[in-house]
Amino acid sequence: MDMALGWWMNTKEKIFWHGGNTSGFSTSLGFSKEKELVVVVLANTQNFKEREPLANAIWLEHLED
């Protein structure tokens, strides 16, 4: 069974992630079952454009391994 309500899926690298914003805070959670890797970013900013480069840099570093 597959279910991905509100989750983004990168089928090439098999990464699943979800993020959200609220007043003054931004979060991102992503995981790769194959790489046994979980990335959580908790930021003191409401703007997702400020947290996304950090989360992407972490993923790129570990996906190349």
* Confidence at 7, pLDDT banded by 50, 70, 90: confident
Is 31 a domain residue? yes
Domain count of the fold of the chain: 1
The 10s digit of each residue's pLDDT in 19-50 is 888 888 888 898 988 888 898 888 887 777 77
Domain membership of residue 5 (yes or no) is no
Here the contacts of 57-60 (C-beta below 8 Å, separation 24 or greater) are 59/15, 59/30
What range does the domain containing 42 cover? Answer: 10-63
- 16: burial class by Cβ within 10 Å (0-12, 13-18, 19+)? middle
Neighbours of 11 (CB within 10 A): 7
Q: Give the pLDDT score at 2.
A: 58
What is the pLDDT, as a whole number, of residue 11? Answer: 80
- Percent of the chain whose predicted confidence (pLDDT) is above 70: 89
